[in-house]
Amino acid sequence: LERDALFRKKHNIHVSGNNIPSPLGDFAELSSRFGCKAKLFRNLANLGFKEPTPIQRQAIPVLLSGRECFSCAPTGSGKTLAFVCPILMKLKRASKDGIRAVILCPTRELATQTTRECKRFAEGCKFCIKLMSKQRVKRADLSKFSCDILISTPLRLKLAIRKKHIDLSKVEYLVLDESDKLFELGLLKQIDSVVKACSNPSIVRSLFSATLPDFVEELARTIMHDAVRVIIGRKNT
Ligand code: ADP
Ligand code: MG
C-alpha cells in the first residue's frame, strides 16, 4: 500500500518480504487492530510510553501476524518491547503447560536486564517469567520445568538441555536478541542446539540486532520461513 510506504519512509523503516503487515500508527492500534488486553495496554501507559518506536511500529504487527522476523535497529531503540509485547499478547494468559517462549541473550547481564523489562511489561498479568540461572541449571531434573517466558544465555540453556533434560518441544516463540553479539561471542553451536531442541513445527522465530552483518543475515535465512526483514535507519551503523 502507498500509505504504508509513505509512513515507513517517514519513520525510516525499511522492509523486505512477502505481504508485510501495516506498521502501527500508534499504541492504541494494539487494542483496536489486535485485541490487546486492557492490563497490558495500561502497563505501556504506566511506563510512560506514548508512541511506539520505529522498530516497534513494524516488528510488533509482523510478529502478531504470526510471521517470522529479523530486525535491525540501533541500541536503545526499544527492541525489547518489540518482541516482548507480541509474545505476551499471543500467549494471552498464563499456563503451566511447558515452556512457551524462549529469549536468548548473549550475556548474563543482558539476560537479567531483559527479564526485568519483561516483568515490567507484564506487571499485574499472571505470566510466569523466569531467568535460567546457574542454580536452576544445577537442579537434578528440569524435564517438568514450566514457565511462560524463559530468558537465558545460550550456554546455560544448552547445559539445561544436555544434562537436565529441559523440554523445549512446546516453545511457540524463540527470540535471538542481540544476534550480532551472540555470533561475535562464538555461540553458534550453542544457539544451534537450542534451535534444534525447540522442535515445535509451528514455532515463530525472530532475531533482533543492532547491526546486521552478512553472517547474521545468512543464519536468519537458514532458520526462518517466509521471514520479514525490518531495518531501521541503515544496516550497519
Ligand atoms: P534496545 O534493545 O533496542 O537497545 P531497549 O529495549 O533496551 O532498547 O529500550 C531502551 C529504553 O527505551 C528502555 O529504557 C525502554 O524502557 C525504553 N523504551 C522502549 N520503548 C519505548 C517507547 N515506545 N517509548 C518510550 N520509551 C521506550
Ligand atoms: Mg536490547
Q: Tens-digit pLDDT profile for the chain (237 aa)?
A: 789 999 999 999 999 999 999 999 999 999 999 999 999 999 999 999 999 999 999 999 999 999 999 999 999 999 999 999 999 999 999 999 999 999 999 999 999 999 999 999 999 999 999 999 988 888 888 999 999 999 999 999 999 999 889 999 999 999 999 998 888 777 888 999 999 999 999 999 999 999 988 888 888 888 898 999 999 997 655
Task: Give the DSSP H or E segment for 87.
Answer: helix 79-91
State the Cα–Cα distance between residues 117 and 213, nearest whole angstrom: 26
State the Cα–Cα distance between residues 129 and 150, nearest whole angstrom: 6
Closest atom of ligand 1 to CA, residue 178 = 2
Could you tell me the three cell numbers for 159? 547445559
Nearest CA to ligand 1 atom 24: 49
* Nearest alpha carbon to residue 222 among 207, 237, 209: 207
Closest atom of ligand 1 to CA, residue 27 = 23
Mutating to test ligand 1, I would choose from 53, 55, 114, 208 the residue with most ligand atoms within 8 A of its C-beta, which is 53
User: CB-based contacts of 98: which residues, under 8 Å, 6+ apart?
Assistant: 146, 167, 169, 170, 171
Phi-psi region of 92 (alpha: psi -120 to 50; beta: other; left: phi over 0): left
Reported ipTM exceeds the 0.90 cut: yes
